[in-house]
Amino acid sequence: MPTDESRRAFAILLVFLWYAVPLLTLYAMALLWKPHSLQARYVIYAFPGLYLLAGAGIAGLRWPLTRGLFGGALIAIMALQTLMADQFPMRTDYLSAARQLRAEAQEGELVIVPDWNDLRVLEFNLGPHDFRITRHDYPLDAWEFIETAMARESVVWVVAGTGPEADEILPRLEQFCRDRDISFTKTVYLGMRNLYLYRCASSKP
């Protein structure tokens, strides 16, 4: 017959698996497939396991005062997280990027958005506009398309969200502009994925 201790250990193991398996699965998906898979909103169903583990740990403490201190610390941390979620941007800030483009991009100027999903969401938030917005065309990759556009356009806007493609493109874009005396401005909109908005304008007459 299993003892109370063995039953307790088995229950804690199950709760730990409830918390750990979704996290490890999404971490593996982020590592091997989609880099943005590991996000809090995708593992919210694992949070009860985390809370039960924390509760079991606190309940196992010997002294009531210690249990109270640790329980209060846990509540304070959760309150801080809630406050941060309320005060800081949690979504990708397409709205602000769209507002800047509507306010500053001139008629006919080219806006390049390398990522297809970013392009769709940005266009939805833009509404009617009189500038050109596009994604790179096959067979050119994103950087080749931007480089080609920069050679023929006086002003090029580039909008990219955090990710492997942006990590490759944006440093090359900045170095390209510096090497060719092309002035550029960079605006960063913080969020679940940071959004980078560049305006590149040739300084040559």
Query: 119-165, pLDDT tens digit by residue?
Result: 999 999 998 888 999 887 655 678 888 888 888 889 999 999 888 77
How many CB atoms lie under 10 A from the CB of residue 177?
19
Does residue 81 sit in helix, strand or coil?
helix
The amino acid at residue 185 is T
pLDDT tens-digit map of 70-117: 888 888 888 887 787 677 677 788 999 999 999 999 999 999 998 888
- Which residue has tokens 């109370």? 4
111, β-bridge pairs = 133, 157
Q: Taking 80 as the threshold, does the pLDDT of residue 203 lie above it?
A: no
Query: Please, are residues 110 and 198 in contact by the beta-carbon 8 Å criterion?
Result: no
122-136 burial, b at 16+ Cβ within 10 Å, e below that, comes to beebbeeeebebeeb
Sheet holding 195-202, edge to edge: 132-134, 110-112, 155-161, 195-202, 182-189
pLDDT of res. 53: 83
